[in-house]
Homo-oligomer: A and B are copies of this chain.
């Protein structure tokens, strides 16, 4: 009986496996992407945005499926990330078969129904975000659902921790490590450029990463770049900090909490940011911060409108920080007008 079952499964798998010629899409995107003809998708039994396993010579990747028309039925278009990972050349034959659905998608569907997530479930989701196994639809659903459902303080901690664990970490083997962050929303903020040198000059370690602006004229990283290079890699950051006590660099060049960077790509076009506490705390945790000041500008034009809301949000940062082993202090600041000569 077991033997028959085994044979049955093998037959099904062979039936859904196809040998196809690989063609290079000619770009690299940090996620494994393939495009196949719609008739091939039906034949394989995969729908758009589901996943296929592409294998060649003992190597394999799981890729998100895009379905299109007018593609020869024995051809699979793949981005360079796939050709590199499989070490395969355009024109070679690779094996394609439907890939099992990642467990994290079940957890996202649970989340959509309002279920709170355990640490293992959050970790599975974050790992799949980082490795590009989630489609944009699934990631957007997670972000939008969280916008409506909110996050428990446990989930904020779980996401922060999982984001830290799935990224690079700055190891300085020093204590204390100081850091600061503003949740933003007020133009003209140049605090970092003043605070970091002061802290460093007093003998404290402060490895500060900042973001660039894309649509606004300048983010802190852009401002710093007028004076010094900001695109350092993690080894260069370590070198600079060990020498000078501080740094001001662009976070995007590092791989600190990369899940956060992918979540932001979805939040930005929708103008919502339900992950802002884990986002910030994960970046602080990734540089090993032990003492952190969070600036919460409050005012009608800022992200946080009232002092009451500011206190509420401050408690999240302090408690998530405590669980991550950081001492967090929040400063509610005046956010009703631009800071300095904006």
Contacts and interface: CB of A to CB of B under 8 A. Distances in A.
Contacts of A218: none
A73 to B, nearest CB: 12
Given A27-B68, A68-B28, A71-B26, A270 B45 contact: no
Interface in A28-58: 28-30, 35, 37, 42, 45, 47-50
Interface in A89-121: 105, 108-109, 112
B140 A136 contact: yes
B26 A135 contact: no
Main secondary structure of the interface of A (DSSP, over half): mixed
A4 interface: no
Interface stretch (A143-151, A154-162, A183-191): A143-151
B144 A141 contact: yes
Given A136-B136, A144-B141, A145-B148, A68 B270 contact: no
Contact of A35 (B27, B71, B148): B27
Interface residues of A, number: 49
A138 interface: yes
Nearest to A136: B136
B77 A68 contact: no
A70 B81 CA distance: 11
B270 A109 contact: yes
Interface string A265-281: 11011111000000000
Contacts of A69: 27-30
Contact of A137 (B25, B29, B266): B266
Given A29-B66, A136-B137, A47 B148 contact: no
A245 interface: no
Given A27-B68, A50-B269, A144 B140 contact: yes
A269 B137 contact: yes
A115 B214 CA distance: 28
Nearest to A267: B137
Contacts of A214: 42, 45, 47
A192 interface: no
Contact of A140 (B25, B42, B141): B141
A215 interface: yes
Nearest to A105: B269
A28 B70 contact: yes
Given A80-B70, A145-B148, A265-B48, A138 B28 contact: no
Interface in A232-279: 265-266, 268-272
A290 interface: no
Give the residue among A45, A68, A108 with the most B Cβ atoms within 10 A: A68
Given A148-B148, A214-B47, A27 B71 contact: yes
Given A25-B25, A47-B214, A136-B136, 13 more contacts: A25-B35, A25-B77, A26-B71, A27-B71, A29-B66, A42-B214, A45-B215, A108-B270, A135-B269, A140-B144, A141-B143, A144-B148, A148-B148
What 10 A-B pairs come out closest when comparing CB atoms? A27-B68, A144-B144, A140-B140, A148-B148, A29-B68, A28-B69, A28-B70, A137-B140, A136-B136, A141-B144
